[in-house]
Amino acid sequence: MSLTAVVTGGLSGLGAATAARLGADGVDVITMDISPLADVQVDVSDPNAVAQAARQVGPISILINSAGIVGDSAPTWEITDENWTRTLAVNLTGTFNMCRAFAPGMIEAGWGRIVNIASMAGKDGNPNMAPYSASKAAVIGLTKTLGKELAPHGVLANVVAPAVVATSMNDRTAPEVLAHITSLIPMGRIGKAEEVAELIAWLSSDKCSFSTGAVYDISGGRATY
């Protein structure tokens, strides 16, 4: 079976690692990103732009929602309206927009895989990262709902919750915040994008056949539930 995947945030970090890993499995990968260097340039937080991109691409087999931003680091009571709104718009609404646009084609085909990227912050809550933590918790809830809705149609939707991973997205994370969340990892190191991509590749394949609406931790031992 010939498979086509869309990977948002596909030019950097987890998105780029996932695009490369899926490509190695023979999947035809289409990257979507705000960068003009992507196969399709799109702001996932814009529902009209996402709908247009979906029409341009056509039906797909695999959707990886990796586009995300950390937002500014500050105590919750100092979070600006702009920081809160933009972080949730990209991380949560962007994931929703993509799922809404591409799920119907998977239902029609009777096969599909959706993998949404959340974070351990969505389970534990990271201090001074309220918008990010809240958005990732909501992505987990969204995916659990989606998994139940799509289960009768041969479409699986799961969510990956990494601990801190060495990507460019963390360049804007305050050093003290980064040090704190790294200290929570029993393995004593941050993760690699390629390690997360391996898990995503499995969730995107026929080898994953009886799991949907599930949260897969990849946290070096940080996860406690």
- Tell whether 40 is covered by a domain: yes
Question: Quick one: angle between helices 94-109 and 47-57, nearest 10?
Answer: 30
Q: What average pLDDT values come out for the chain (225 residues) when binned by 10 residues?
A: 94 96 98 97 98 98 97 96 98 98 98 97 94 98 98 98 79 73 84 95 98 94 83
**Residue-range definition of the domain harbouring residue 166:** 4-218
C-beta of residue 73 within 8 angstroms of C-beta of residue 177: yes
- Tell whether 29 is covered by a domain: yes
Question: HEC profile for 1-12?
Answer: CCCEEEEECCCC
The number of domains in the chain is 1
- Tell whether 224 is covered by a domain: no
- Tell whether 223 is covered by a domain: no
The model carries a pTM of 0.93
- State both tokens at 25: 């499995």
Return the amino acid letter for 184: L
Point out the residues that are catalytic.
Answer: 132
- Tell whether 225 is covered by a domain: no
- Tell whether 101 is covered by a domain: yes
**Nearest residue to 176 via CA among 71, 68, 73:** 73
Q: What is the CATH number of the domain that holds 105?
A: 3.40.50.720
- Tell whether 204 is covered by a domain: yes
pLDDT of 181: 76
pLDDT of 184: 83
Residue appearing with tokens 């972080």: 87
pLDDT of 40: 98
Q: Which DSSP symbol is given to 74?
A: B
